[in-house]
Amino acid sequence: MMNDTRIKILLIEDNPGDARLIEHMLAQAQGLAFESTWVDNLADGIAHLQTKPTDVLLLDLGLPESTGLATLQRVLARAPTVPTLVVLSGLSDENIAVQAVQSGAQDYLVKGQVDTALLVRSIRYAMERSQAKQALRQAYDELEQRVVERTAELANTIQALHAEIMERKQAEDQILYMAHYDALTGLPNRELLQDRISQAIAYAHRNRTQVAVLFIDLDHFKHINDSLGHKIGDRLLQMVAVRLRECVREGDSVARPGGDEYVLCLPLLTGVGDAAVVAQKALDALGQAFLVEGNELHASASIGISLYPNDGTDVETLMRAADTAMNHAKERGRGNYQFFTQVLNKAAQQRLVLEKKLRQAFANDEFVLHYQPQVNMANGAIFSSEALLRWRQPGKAPISGGSFISIAEETGLILSIGEWVLREACRQLKQWQDAGHPDLRIAVNLSPRQFYQPHFIDMIAAILDETGLAATGLDLEITEGLLLQRSDDIVDMLNQLSGMGIQLSVDDFGTGYSSLAYLQRFPVHALKIDQSFVRNIGRDRNATALVSAIIAMANSLHMKVLAEGVETSLQIAFLRSRGCSSGQGFYYSEAVPAEAFIRLLNK
């Protein structure tokens, strides 16, 4: 027979997997015993609430027959006294969560960020808050009854009793608010911050992402308090909080543990560069003058950064590491940020410097294209060229794209650069065609990030129309990784490009996990064998066998094959003997400026 001391939980959830996970957490809980009931639709859940005792309700706001706040309102209308925890599908629903709490829910949980400890803590909190509200409601009812009974003779104490009720209610709300938020700035306090970092860690662990904790300390804030007074200092702290909120994304957290210290929690990171960007934004924002009651104040900051999982796997360790890094920033002269791990710190600093230089280079027209011939190895004729990006810095030799393309992709600058490359390559090819080389083609590399930009197909069509180049003269080189995603959108876009007459080639083939068998699904016209395999022809048995296999299978699928990195006549002889007739590499020419390439064409 079930023990009556068990806490009775009703779970309304249409996803069996999520329901089983929550029931498993309840079964594993220590210190409290639960009796859980799961229903997968709202009608059965309401029927259960109206007929059976329930201590806490866990309610999914995304049910098929009712979604959002309407779901909560239907439940509260029928079971107003049952403490309810709403369950959200992700961090982006936090606005709905706030509205739900304001409408009567006790708290909210986010799917994928809940562990057993958090679930039990939330249930305990919901029950305690509900009991407090019920007690207050009972007290209110009793007081109301007293008021009704003594209305005639005590018309004036009535007002006092109402005032007492409102004061109690306001006091309760204030206590709840003060338990989680900083009274001065309205930011989450240390307790709520720790809870949010804990949730972010749990989510990052499951999804193999990173979490950054940024510990921010205002430099020389004590001097402002001592010279201008605490009123000015408090106002400055409030303005700092506003600026820091503007530096983070939706889903990030800005907190004030106390004093002149702030902490940022950045979940869902894919690299250290993201944390460095936010830190620099914070420094730039705080570096601008503050106007406080006629006083122009300057509040630079020292920022320390720690990362999950590299610098710690729990809240306390990450906070301690970020604090240590912040102190190191102060030692380095203040007004800067430092990573807890110095290797990452150096890399992040170099990355930001390079990003700034890249943006300046694009604005100052420092990029140029070089062209490497693609050759028919049977007769040495040039039939196409690959456009390769170079950074032409004043007084220095041009830098190849391999040293900066990854940064351009991370920052999104690749979209502007990529459009410029495509337009310049098409313009140059049209010029060569008009100069007596009508059959010449040009190959342009595409970044996956370019491929996903809005109106990508329209942009290519506009460039072809603007330059007057026929689509059949353009060869777009895509990566194996793009094809491996195998989405219908990608297939559709590739079919559109192919339908325009554009040739599609897979660049650096063999370095990923591709198989020629699935390439039949895509409108791919050619494969480029990666130069690492071509370079080892005759020297490495596996590389030699792989090159032979790629050529044979591509020919059987009626695809063209081009070998990259051709450097010797022995490589050419081997490739031709296996059925590969096209190549590019230093044997023929390195990538050269446009004026040098035309001389190669005219030979």
Tokens of 253: 């957290």
Same domain? For 448 and 560 the reply is yes
* The two three-digit tokens of residue 268, written as one number: 């869902």
Which ranges constitute the DSSP H helices of 2-115? Answer: 16-28, 42-51, 69-78, 94-103
Last residue of a domain, one of 178, 198, 219: 178
- On whether residue 54 sits in a domain, the answer given is yes
Beta bridge pairs of residue 181 = 188
Same domain for 477 and 437: yes
* Burial (CB count within 10 angstroms: exposed 0-12, middle 13-18, buried 19+), residue 8: middle
Structural domain for 545, as ranges: 365-602
pLDDT value of position 272: 79
Name which of 389-393, 416-420, 492-496, 555-559 the model is least confident about. 555-559
Which domain-ending residue is among 128, 157, 178? 178
How many C-beta neighbours within 10 Å does residue 602 have?
9
User: Does residue 267 fall inside a structural domain?
Assistant: yes
Q: Is residue 354 part of a domain?
A: no
Give residue 512's identity as a one-letter amino acid code. Answer: G
* DSSP H or E segment with residue 145: helix 116-149
Sequential DSSP letters for 493-512: HHHHHHHHT-EEEEEEETSS
Task: Say whether both 95 and 130 belong to one domain.
Answer: yes
576 token code pair:
């031709």
Q: What is the CATH number of the domain that holds 83?
A: 3.40.50.2300
Higher pLDDT among residues 278 and 298, named by residue: 278
User: Does 244 lie in the same domain as 344?
Assistant: yes
* Distance in Å from the first CA to the final CA of the chain: 96
429 with 289, same domain: the answer is no
DSSP single-letter state for residue 269: E
> 61 and 207: one domain?
no
| Cα-based torsion angle of the residue sequence 106, 111, 116, 118 in order, rounded to the nearest 10 degrees | -40
Tokens 């960007």 belong to 277
Domain count along the chain: 3
Q: Are 396 and 543 in the same domain?
A: yes
Place 131 in a pLDDT band, splitting at 50, 70 and 90. Answer: confident
For 402-430, what is the mean pLDDT? 90
pLDDT-based confidence at residue 370 (cuts at 50, 70, 90) = very high
Q: Is residue 561 included in any domain, yes or no?
A: yes
Q: How far is CA 524 from CA 307, 469, 479, 483, 531, in A?
A: 41, 21, 11, 10, 20
Residue 451: inside a domain:
yes
**What are the backbone dihedrals phi and psi of residue 475, each rounded to the nearest 5 degrees, phi first?**
-120, 115
What pLDDT score was predicted for residue 296? 87
> Residue 98 region, left (φ>0) first, then alpha (ψ -120 to 50), else beta?
alpha
Nearest to 82 by CA among 50, 57, 107, 119: 57
In this structure, what CATH number is given to the domain that contains residue 230? Answer: 3.30.70.270
Mean pLDDT of 459-473: 96
Which of these ranges, 54-63, 71-80, 261-270, 339-348, has the smallest mean pLDDT?
339-348
Summarize pLDDT for 206-221 with one digit per residue, the tens. Answer: 888 899 999 999 988 8
Q: What are the tens digits of pLDDT across the range 503-533?
A: 999 987 766 555 555 677 788 899 999 998 9
User: Residue 318 above 50 pLDDT?
Assistant: yes
The 10s digit of each residue's pLDDT in 148-178 is 777 666 666 767 777 777 777 777 767 766 7
User: Are 590 and 447 found together in one domain?
Assistant: yes
Output the pLDDT for position 518: 65
Tell whether 497 is covered by a domain: yes
SS3 at position 538: coil
DSSP-assigned letter for residue 528:
E
Beta-carbon count within 10 A of 443 CB: 25
- Indicate if 244 and 321 belong to the same structural domain: yes
Query: What percentage of the chain exceeds 70 in pLDDT?
Result: 93
CA 71 vs. chain centroid, Å, equals: 30
Are 300 and 342 in the same domain? yes
Report the 3 state secondary structure along 335-371.
CCEEECCHHHHHHHHHHHHHHHHHHHHHHCCCEEEEE
Q: How confident is the model at residue 1 (pLDDT cuts 50, 70, 90)?
A: very low
The tokens for 63 are 């049910």
Asked if residues 292 and 239 have their Cβ atoms less than 8 Å apart, the reply is yes
Instruction: Classify residue 359: in a domain, yes or no.
Output: no
Kindly indicate the confidence band of residue 426, based on its pLDDT and cuts at 50, 70 and 90: very high
Q: What is the CA radius of gyration of the chain?
A: 33
Beta carbons of 279 and 304 less than 8 angstroms apart: no
Task: Specify the pTM.
Answer: 0.52
Cα dist. 307→108, 282, 318, 339 in Å?
27, 17, 7, 8
**503 residue type, one letter:** Q
Is residue 512 in some structural domain? yes
pLDDT at res. 177: 66
Contact status, residue 84 vs residue 57, Cβ threshold 8 Å: yes
Whether residue 172 contacts residue 154, with contact meaning beta carbons closer than 8 Å, is answered with no
Phi, psi of 11 (to 5 degrees): -110, 115
Question: For the residues 374-398, what does the mean pLDDT come to?
Answer: 92
Tokens of 132: 């407090």
Looking at the fold, whether 155 and 231 belong to one and the same domain comes out as no
Q: Tell me, yes or no, whether 90 and 118 share the same domain.
A: yes
Q: Is the peptide bond before 309 cis (omega within 30 degrees of 0)?
A: yes
| Whole-number Å distance between alpha carbons of 435 and 470 | 15
| pLDDT value at residue 101 | 83
Contact 42, 74 (CB under 8 A): yes
Instruction: Record the tokens describing residue 166, joined without a space.
Output: 């409102």
Amino acid at 341: T
Helix 116-149 with 155-178: angle, nearest 10 deg: 170
CA 251 – CA 13 distance, rounded (Å): 24
Torsion sign (Cα): 304, 309, 312, 315? positive
State the average pLDDT for the chain: 87
Beta bridge partner(s), residue 374: 384
Q: What is the CATH number of the domain that holds 510?
A: 3.20.20.450
- pLDDT level of residue 123 (50, 70, 90 thresholds): confident
Q: Cα(359)–Cα(367) distance, rounded to whole angstroms?
A: 11
CA-closest candidate to residue 71, choices 86, 52, 51: 86
